[in-house]
Amino acid sequence: MTDTVDRADEVREVERIIIRFAGDSGDGMQLTGDRFTSASALFGNDLATLPEFPAEIRAPAGTLAGVSAFQVHISDHDITTPGDAPNVLVAMNPAALKADLHTLESGGTVIINSDAFEERNLAKAGYEHNPLEDNTLDGYTVITAPMTSLTKEACKDLGVKPRDAERSKNFFALGLVSWLYSRPEEPTMLWIQEKFKGRDLVIAANEAAYRAGNAFGETAELSASRMTVRPAQLPAGTYTNINGNTALSWGLIAASQQAGLPLFLGSYPITPASDILHELSKHKNFGVRTFQAEDEIAAVGSALGASYGGHIGITTTSGPGVALKGETLGLAVSLELPLVVIDIQRGGPSTGLPTKTEAADLMMAMYGRHGEAPMPIVAASSPADCFDAAIEAVRIALEYRTPVMLLSDGYLANGTEPWKLPDIDSLPSIDIEFASELNGVDSEGREVYWPYVRNDDLARPWAIPGTEALMHRIGGIEKQDGTGNISYDPANHEFMVRLREERILKIADKLPPLEVMGDDDADILVVGWGSTWGAITSAVGRLRSGGTKVASVHLRHLYPFAPNLGELLQRFDHVVVPEMNLGQLTKLLRAEFLVDAKAISKVSGQPFTAAELVTKIQEVAR
């Protein structure tokens, strides 16, 4: 709306706003949130998002189980989380209000589609009285708009059927919220035209609904509620707004380019990992082969087969899939071939909470195989960081000829943040050479190829089929070091078990030392891994600005640990470990370093908020 500029002086400037869009699964709240986010990204805000949706594709309409929400935090400065309590809640129906009102800050703003607050919907949500008419919303700023009927009205003359028009009501909400928080209209209009190309009526309806929402803000005299968040002062560069699964997919492609080897993805669909399969399937022009296997076991098996053939074998899954892949991972450990297993963790055990986040697969990543079967573990810390984490996982797998576990989670997978695009020339190089020459002499003095001869890193040579004269056999039976021949010799097995551990631990020799953030002379060290990075960074920042001395360190490598971790832990009186599990890293730290590390656990299916961590860390400080 052009008026935005004219009335700019009426718009209150704030540093940040947290908005939560909530509605029925069929109301299009993910799309609404996503559009608001994109417009804010292009406007130049820093931001972080948290989509939350039910596991059912269409949960019963109007029920609490069917509520789908999208939280976005926009800011004029660097932020790392989707925010604590939202300032604004958009509730498209009574169930959304019932489910999410408790998350809203006290005195916050509620924007309500009043058309949806009729008897049937109220009953489905479990309201005995209409919350718009009793004292439920006392103390909040309430903006009600008959979104459904106004959308229908706006579409009346367009030739759109009323039922179809109703579907555009999320664009009414978006138009209204965009007016209230001064978001530019253009990106959304362009998106509508692109997305619905060829469906002119849908374009017209969505545009009309958006403008009607915009106009409602003006005519209903809501100016007092208007705010804006100025662009953030971020480091210079080109930015894009990216979620973790996309960043991870692109990281795999980048690693493939850096290594000069083709990428092979074997995968079986599973929430919340499937989007990586979808994304990589779009990029066959990079030479990427994607294979939707018959099951999780075939997915990892095919990836291992591709690695044997000289490709970068990748398999993507979530916890239940990792459980199924375990035996093949043991084989990969024994074969000493590169392989990257990507676990987008979700709430467990069993089917658990497929669409909710958790980080309780660390022990499975560490120990979820029979025998002594060590695998390096790399974890991503933010949506954009998934790009770098993917490159690191591939680098370790290729250079050390080992399967690697890469841990992300549902929150990183779907959450977004602005990402300063890296300079491609600055990406880490991955230098790999296949074996091409004989490397041993047999008992009769003949030159032969031995698959288990080792280099300085204790990695074996990688001779791929098709290489003349290097024919050899490998397998899951214990083999003699060097020759690779089957060996049941007790001393050899003992040697090989220890060697397999040693060679993985040796990876740490070349890892960069960890750097402590915050106060080096603090009593408390907060140790994080995975997606807790955002909340920890924000919490530590708040505590320090409040005068509490605190330090933090975030682990990229969970196995082996960075070489200076033990020394670093010893320097602090208190070590606390926020984890979205019951203390798995905590146990590893205690076992490895004999420190009295204490877990701060959360297993509700939602990420930590910074506020929660501030409170918990303060308890330790006292």
Could you say which residues in the range 56-115 bind another protein, by CB under 8 A?
none
- Footprint of another protein on residues 596-615 (CB under 8 A)? none
| Measured distance CA(107)–CA(503) in Å, rounded | 58
262 counts as binding another protein under rule CB under 8 A: yes
465 counts as binding another protein under rule CB under 8 A: yes
- Footprint of another protein on residues 402-421 (CB under 8 A)? 420-421
DSSP class of 231 = P
Choice between 113 and 416, CB closer to another protein = 416
Choice between 294 and 573, CB closer to another protein = 294
Residue 417, number of CB atoms within 10 A of its CB: 27
- Footprint of another protein on residues 472-501 (CB under 8 A)? 472-477, 485-486
Residue 465 CB, nearest distance to another protein (Å)? 4
Choice between 35 and 557, CB closer to another protein = 35
Q: Work out which of 44, 184, 352, 566 binds another protein, going by CB under 8 A.
A: 44
Residue 253 CB, nearest distance to another protein (Å)? 7
CB 558 within 8 A of CB 529: yes
**What is the layout of strands, in order, in the sheet containing 524-529?**
517-518, 551-555, 524-529, 574-579, 598-601
- Footprint of another protein on residues 218-257 (CB under 8 A)? 231, 234-242, 246, 250, 253-254, 257
Choice between 92 and 333, CB closer to another protein = 333
Stretch that binds another protein, among 73-81, 199-207, 300-308, 355-363 (CB under 8 A): 300-308
- Footprint of another protein on residues 537-556 (CB under 8 A)? none
- Footprint of another protein on residues 303-362 (CB under 8 A)? 303-311, 313, 327-328, 330-331, 335
Residue/partner pairs of 285-291 with CB below 8 Å, 24 or more apart: 286/253, 286/256, 286/257, 287/256, 287/262, 287/263, 288/253, 288/256, 288/262, 288/263, 288/264, 289/262, 289/263, 289/264, 289/265, 290/265, 291/264, 291/265, 291/266, 291/267
| Measured distance CA(616)–CA(577) in Å, rounded | 11
Contact letters for another protein, residues 170-199 (x by CB under 8 A): -----------------x------------
| Measured distance CA(591)–CA(538) in Å, rounded | 29
Residue 412 CB, nearest distance to another protein (Å)? 17
Q: Is 568 left (phi over 0), alpha (psi -120 to 50) or beta?
A: alpha
266 counts as binding another protein under rule CB under 8 A: yes
CB 87 within 8 A of CB 109: yes
Number of residues that bind another protein (CB under 8 A): 74
C-alpha closest to that of 535 among 569, 579, 572, 584? 579
452 counts as binding another protein under rule CB under 8 A: no
Residue 185 CB, nearest distance to another protein (Å)? 15
Element (H, E) at 457: none
